[in-house]
Amino acid sequence: MENIRQTVKRVWGYDTLLPLQEEAMRAVLARRDSIVILPTGGGKSLCFQAPAAAMGTLTVVVSPLIALMKDQVDGLTTAGVPAAFLNSSLTSDERRLVEDNVVRGRYHLLYVAPERLVLPPCLGLLRRAGVACFAIDEAHCISQWGHDFRPEYRQLRVVREVFPDVAIHAFTATATPRVRADIATELGLREPEILVGSFDRPNLVYRVRRRTDRLRQVTEALERHRGAAGIIYCIRRAEVDQLADALRRLSYRAVAYHAGLADAERRRAQDDFITERADVMVATVAFGMGIDRSDVRYVIHAGMPKSIEHYQQEAGRAGRDGLPSECLLLYSGGDFGLWRSILMAEGLPAPGAMQKLGEMYDYCQGAACRHRFLVEYFGQASRADTCGACDVCLGEIAVEDGSAAMARQILAAVTEMGERFGAGYVADVLCGAKTARIAEMRHDRLDAYGVLRQYSKATVRSWIEQLEGQECLARGEGEYPTLDVTARGHRVLRGESAVPLLRTVARSVRQAPSRAARPAVPPSLGQMSDEDLFEMLRVLRRTMAAERGIPPYLIFSDASLREMARERPTAKDAFLQIKGVGLRKLQELGPRFLACIRAHKDGSAAGTSPVP
């Protein structure tokens, strides 16, 4: 048998393995049960696909998502690994063909939906065919403590009963010990090797901003990623429709996705996004599971998610290919209130739901490194004090100097005004505004009048909101949303407790790294920049994907195209050195990519069409 690294190089074109991949593969080859916990983009698939390709026997993969199975199988087939799937999307003829091939030992990997796998005919088929091992993808679906419990996963316990001697390998991105224990018990694992990777995603830049003007803030971010793919999450369906419309009016290629749309519309939106006819997916959290597009360059939350777990999952869809990507979260105190009322309306909210909401809000309001916050939230130690990849460490936000004094001034103003006014009016008074109402109420004679006049009203309002968020102020129950000082607020007033107030530093966000990667010296006239060549290669990728009826990211990843644009190989052996180019892809896809690179290498701008 070829050694596993040779297989990885030959089939997938990778010279190196990602953290823990080697250990995970060794467990598979040793036929020892295992639980592998790696973050999204950690390269879980390769952990069972490479051993399957190396051994050449049948690995059965259980996966909950029918759409994903087809993509995975298409990806494997394109790389030259015989694979197939069995699920309800097949006609009975197609299914029989696959079953025949299974018995004949034609496949190295077979993807099966859990509810089908546990049926006696399927178990019988696999017994006859002989199975080398089982890989259970998204294994957290087996646990009620995970975020995506699926009852059909519970039935997987028969696998161990029917195949007592076949090793079972579980893969998930959910790290909690409780979920892990459930996986081991439910699958009947025997002394599994447990491999837990780091949950930090160093290629993601995290930013949090108070939402002031949603459309402007969103388009500013989109401009950092022109033409690249991204997802914008909204809390409510109506916001999805509005924002997608607004973006389309501004000529962005945006589509909308939420559970209120007809199936066909949803499918079209998803299809447009996957095949690169659309760049921007505006969606509720209903969108995402089952999307394997690895070149998502940004995920924007237009509203705050209800837990860090949700945030991590959704934001984690950015940058699966390991290239720099941005996660921007826009929030307001209103989001917190909205979620609270949604959770209350559910009657009895799930245990811990309110606490998780509070933790999410803490994240938004925090002034500590975002990477560190997230990593520590998930129970891991963080490596460095500053990450260089979040708004805090990049110096984009700052704790206001003297913020304890300002918090007291705001709270004192609310008290002085008898707790009978709303945030906007209080801010006017603090800023010393000259309005008719203030004159009429004679509030220009208050001690509080104008004490914060050196700050803009927007800044003062944001501080009032932050004080609400930190439960120093609360909105009254009455008809008008007047502000009251809470018990905590009184402690701050007495100087017994302090709260930090944050302000976004007026300094523009650094350009996205992909743009910054342009050469400092402009290319000489007629010579094509890496960026332009990359765009040409993307067009070619799209064309070849359409010809094959598969998503573009299965042809080559962005990471591979970037390397091609940089290295500009013109011969086969040089092309094979590109990360992500295996032998099959060299043969099948290489010639046209090489021709495209050759045609544009010397900037012989002749023929700007990428298709020779």
Would you tell me which residues interact with ligand ADP (CB under 6 A)?
14, 16-18, 21, 38, 40-46, 294, 320-321, 557, 579
Q: Does 387 bind Zn ion (CB under 5 A)?
A: yes
Residue closer to ligand ADP (CB basis): 76 or 499: 76
Taking the C-alpha atoms of residue 517 and residue 534, their distance in angstroms, rounded to an integer, is 12
Residue 198 CB, nearest approach to ligand ADP (Å): 13
Looking only at the bridges linking them, the beta strands covering 229-233 and 280-283 are parallel
Helical H segments across 156-230, by residue range: 157-162, 177-187, 214-223
34 binds, among Zn ion, ligand ADP, none (CB under 5 to 8 A by kind): none
Residue closer to ligand ADP (CB basis): 16 or 212: 16
46 binds, among Zn ion, ligand ADP, none (CB under 5 to 8 A by kind): ligand ADP
Count the Cβ atoms, other than its own, within 10 Å of residue 142.
Answer: 30
> Site map for Zn ion, 392-421, x if CB under 5 A?
-x----------------------------
Taking the C-alpha atoms of residue 600 and residue 491, their distance in angstroms, rounded to an integer, is 68
Q: Which of 295, 266, 356, 351 shows the shortest CA–CA distance to 556?
A: 295
Residue 394 CB, nearest approach to Zn ion (Å): 8
321 binds, among ligand ADP, Zn ion, none (CB under 5 to 8 A by kind): ligand ADP
390 binds, among ligand ADP, Zn ion, none (CB under 5 to 8 A by kind): Zn ion
18 binds, among ligand ADP, Zn ion, none (CB under 5 to 8 A by kind): ligand ADP
Taking the C-alpha atoms of residue 359 and residue 43, their distance in angstroms, rounded to an integer, is 29
Residue 348 CB, nearest approach to ligand ADP (Å): 34
The residues near 553 (Cβ < 8 Å, ≥ 6 apart) are 292, 293, 294, 295
Among the listed ranges 95-103, 308-316, 345-353, 365-373, the one in contact with Zn ion (CB under 5 A) is 365-373
Residue closer to Zn ion (CB basis): 125 or 327: 327
Give the single-character DSSP code of 290. Answer: B
Q: Which of 401, 375, 570, 407 shows the shortest CA–CA distance to 491?
A: 407
Residue 208 CB, nearest approach to Zn ion (Å): 11
Residue 78 CB, nearest approach to ligand ADP (Å): 12
43 binds, among ligand ADP, Zn ion, none (CB under 5 to 8 A by kind): ligand ADP
Q: What is the largest CA-CA distance in the chain?
A: 91
Amino acid residing at 252: Y
11 binds, among Zn ion, ligand ADP, none (CB under 5 to 8 A by kind): none
Residue 16 CB, nearest approach to ligand ADP (Å): 6
Give the single-character DSSP code of 368. Answer: S
Structure tokens at 358: 């509070």
Q: Does 369 bind Zn ion (CB under 5 A)?
A: yes
Structure tokens at 585: 């892809």
Q: Does 390 bind Zn ion (CB under 5 A)?
A: yes
Residue closer to ligand ADP (CB basis): 52 or 472: 52
Q: Does 374 bind Zn ion (CB under 5 A)?
A: no
Taking the C-alpha atoms of residue 528 and residue 125, their distance in angstroms, rounded to an integer, is 55
Q: Which SS3 state, helix, strand or coil, does residue 557 take? A: coil
Q: Which SS3 state, helix, strand or coil, does residue 566 take? A: helix
Residue closer to ligand ADP (CB basis): 252 or 298: 298
Q: Are 579 and 547 in contact (CB under 8 A)?
A: no
Residue 231 CB, nearest approach to ligand ADP (Å): 15
Taking the C-alpha atoms of residue 326 and residue 311, their distance in angstroms, rounded to an integer, is 13
| Residues contributing to the site for Zn ion (CB under 5 A) | 369, 371, 387, 390, 393
